[in-house]
């Protein structure tokens, strides 16, 4: 135990090496900013700073994000010059092993992988569309399989103890009419996480997931805009989005939607300080799952319950609560 502790203390003086997918905006970008912040504050990262490999389809957005990041740590210059930009498409699963290999080579290894991906196109009018199912499985499940397989050797070699953390969704734990493919893909991703946690624990790798609820991301804005436009009787996008977010937030126990920064804070804690947490799917949902369970059991009750529950469309849950990019 003493030897392991000494090894981890020595590792803490080296840069924390983190690969983040879906990093160009939303939750992924917030996670990148939170880890980069630790490079200057030292909280959770040790004294060696932080090096990030950021993956997304948009090189332009990634480069803009990196330019705005704080210094990478000891020896790093402003603007995150020690961070790595990796343009790639998660749905192109055949390319991901090579992308992970680039991250490992340029960072000198991996300590943490945060696997985050956007919902993509969902045909809410044909939830049994086979092409939509294939796209969702590629984006959320098979991309995770490819990344996990490619990253496992580097994570096992991490002297900090490797971490694979997936960004799931409460949609994997509750049915959303019209989003069968997305919900099923997230449920499959959750089981992948649990299975890998059991299989890789002996190698010192923790595998876990967070399940966001309604989070204010560009993805969620796209889905609440029609709701807000109808309610406010407007064609102005900003007004419609604001009204849609207000309506969706009012239906949550905390009375609002969450922020990407709130999700990123939990991810950072689990990755750097949650050393005995593995195999867990942690909701970050403002109580949405708890409320949905209560509403389902109470929908035939008094007027307060019936006013708040109604159909899934009335409650606004048709928007994928875990939209992340």
Encode the chain (325 residues) as per-residue pLDDT tens digits.
445 555 555 566 688 999 999 999 999 999 999 999 997 776 766 667 899 999 999 999 999 999 999 876 654 444 445 899 999 999 999 999 999 999 999 999 999 999 999 877 777 778 899 999 999 999 999 999 999 999 999 999 999 999 999 999 999 999 888 899 999 999 999 999 999 999 999 999 999 999 999 999 998 999 899 999 999 999 999 999 999 999 999 999 999 999 999 999 999 999 999 999 999 999 999 999 998 766 555 444 433 333 333 333 333 344 444 443 4
CATH number for the segment(s) 13-308: 3.40.50.720
pTM of the predicted protein model = 0.87
Retrieve residue 92's tokens. 């192109």
Q: How far apart are CA 255 and CA 251, in angstroms?
A: 6
Q: How far apart are CA 283 and CA 185, in angstroms?
A: 17
């Amino acid at each position: 135990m003493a030897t392991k502790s000494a090894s981890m203390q020595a590792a803490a003086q080296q840069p924390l090496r983190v690969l983040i997918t879906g990093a160009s905006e939303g939750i992924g970008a917030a996670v990148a900013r939170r880890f980069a912040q630790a490079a200057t504050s030292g909280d959770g990262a040790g004294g060696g700073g932080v090096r990030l490999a950021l993956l997304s389809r948009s090189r332009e957005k990634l480069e803009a994000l990196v330019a705005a990041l704080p210094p990478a740590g000891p020896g790093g210059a402003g603007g995150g010059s020690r961070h790595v930009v990796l343009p790639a498409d998660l749905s192109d699963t055949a390319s991901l092993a090579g992308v992970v290999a680039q991250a490992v080579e340029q960072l000198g290894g991996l300590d943490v992988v945060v696997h985050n991906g956007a919902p993509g196109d969902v045909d809410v009018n044909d939830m049994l569309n086979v092409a939509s199912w294939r796209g969702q499985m590629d984006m959320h499940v098979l991309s995770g399989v490819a990344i996990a397989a490619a990253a496992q050797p580097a994570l096992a070699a991490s002297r900090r103890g490797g971490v694979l953390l997936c960004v799931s969704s409460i949609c994997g734990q509750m049915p959303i009419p019209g989003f069968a493919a997305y919900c099923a893909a997230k449920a499959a991703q959750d089981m992948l996480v649990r299975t890998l946690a059991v299989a890789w624990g002996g190698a010192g790798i923790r595998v876990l997931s967070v399940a966001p609820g309604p989070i204010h991301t560009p993805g969620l804005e796209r889905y609440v805009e029609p709701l807000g436009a109808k309610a406010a009787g407007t064609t102005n996008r900003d007004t419609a989005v604001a009204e849609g977010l207000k309506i969706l937030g009012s239906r949550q126990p905390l009375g609002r939607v969450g922020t990407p920064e709130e999700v990123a804070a939990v991810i950072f804690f689990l990755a750097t300080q949650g050393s005995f947490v593995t195999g867990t799917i942690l909701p970050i949902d403002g109580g949405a799952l708890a409320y949905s369970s209560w509403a389902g059991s109470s929908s035939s009750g008094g007027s307060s319950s019936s006013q708040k529950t109604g159909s899934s469309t009335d409650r606004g849950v048709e928007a994928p609560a875990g939209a992340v990019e």
